[in-house]
């Protein structure tokens, strides 16, 4: 997994960006977030990831990250979006 895709949530917990397309983002997370919440975390690259949660589902896949969060990004620069899209498409 690329360090740029890892997320350390504010308040604890971690995650990994698994897909990004336009403003839509999917993150696997050790911590759940309710629909409408606005979690924030620091990416492995040092950048900040902010999103608005649309859906959070518990899906155990053996990776220790048991929640799949779907939402949209908030305040993401074009440069960061391009880097994350390149990393997620290469990880696919």
List, in order of start, the domains of the chain with CATH numbers.
3-91 (2.40.10)
Instruction: Indicate the pLDDT class of residue 92, thresholds 50, 70 and 90.
Output: very low
How high is the pLDDT of residue 60? 75
pLDDT at 88 over 60: yes
How high is the pLDDT of residue 64? 72
Give the model confidence (pLDDT) of 27-61 as tens digits: 999 999 999 999 999 999 899 999 999 999 998 77
Predicted model pTM = 0.87
pLDDT at 75 over 70: yes
Contact present, 40 and 10 (Cβ < 8 Å): yes
The phi and psi torsions of 69 (rounded to 5 degrees) equal -110, 130
Chain position carrying tokens 């979006």: 81
């Amino acid at each position: 997994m690329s360090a740029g895709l890892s997320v350390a949530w504010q308040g604890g917990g971690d995650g990994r960006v698994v897909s990004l397309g336009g403003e839509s983002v999917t993150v696997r997370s050790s911590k759940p977030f309710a629909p409408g919440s606005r979690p924030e975390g620091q990416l492995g690259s040092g950048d900040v990831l902010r999103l608005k949660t649309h859906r959070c589902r518990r899906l155990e896949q053996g990776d220790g990250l048991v929640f799949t969060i779907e939402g949209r990004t908030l305040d993401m620069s074009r440069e960061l979006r391009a880097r994350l899209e390149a990393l997620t498409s290469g990880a696919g």
